[in-house]
Structure 1
Amino acid sequence: MTYVVTDKCIRCKFMDCVAVCPVDCFYEGENMLVINPDECIDCGVCEPECPAAAIVADTDPTAARWLELNDRLSRVWPNIAEKKEPPEDAEAWMDVDGKFETAFSEAPGGA
């Protein structure tokens, strides 16, 4: 089992999860994070730390779509091991629906 980041992270990118991850399995895109499923040790400490509730176990019914995305993008985005400041408008994006279709970017982060 692993954990995955869902579309709720898009444009929020709070990174509280990064601060608690013991194995540094998070990868940074321009406007969201993903988890490398091969590196995640299923400890679960990241899930309750996410203010946007964007992290779910891969056994969650909503996880299947996000498992492939997390796996694929964690292989091309840079690893992130330290928490950074979230975007200035992160809180405004927390409850927005349809973010994947309207705001997702495959560009890597780390700037």
Structure 2
Amino acid sequence: MPYVVTENCIRCQYMDCVSVCPVDCFREGEAMLVIHPDECIDCGVCEPACPAEAIRPDDDKEGTRWLAFNARFAEEWPRITEKGRPPDDADDWRGRPGKSAMVFGAAGP
């Protein structure tokens, strides 16, 4: 049961999760992070570390919806191993619904 990054990460990218991941399974895109599901060891330390509450287990309703998205983009986006700086407007995007359609359109889950 890997963990996955969901819509709440879009345009927030706080990256606290990256600094606690023991296996460096995060990838960074322009608007969000994803977790490589084949590399995640299901330890769960990233979930409580995320201030945007964007990380979910793949077997919960939201996690299931985002699993294929994470798998797809984990193959394309570069690995991130250190916490970076979130976007300047991250707090403005935090908790905003419908972000995936605004940012990814049809490419979202």
- Could you say whether these structures have the same fold, taking a TM-score greater than 0.5 normalized by the shorter chain as the test? yes
Alignment partner of 1:36 is 2:25 = no
The separation in 1 between residues aligned to 2:52 and 2:104, in whole angstroms, is 16
Tell me which residue corresponds to 1:6. Answer: 6
Identify unmatched segments of 5+ residues in structure 1.
Answer: 107-111
Spell out, residue by residue over 1:20-61, the C-alpha distance to the aligned partner (whole angstroms, 9 max, x if none): 000000000001000000000000000001010000001111
Aligned residue pairs total: 106
Identify unmatched segments of 5+ residues in structure 2.
Answer: none
Cα displacement (A) at 1:65: 1.7
Q: How high is the sequence identity, in percent, across the aligned residues?
A: 60
TM-score using structure 2 length: 0.93
TM-score using structure 1 length: 0.92
The separation in 1 between residues aligned to 2:98 and 2:78, in whole angstroms, is 25
Cα displacement (A) at 1:104: 3.4
The separation in 2 between residues aligned to 1:63 and 1:22, in whole angstroms, is 21
The separation in 1 between residues aligned to 2:62 and 2:101, in whole angstroms, is 16
Give the structure with the larger helix fraction: 2
Verify the 8 A CA contact 1:10 1:104 in the aligned structure 2: no
Tell me which residue corresponds to 1:85. Answer: 85
Which 4+ stretches in 1 moved above 3 angstroms? none
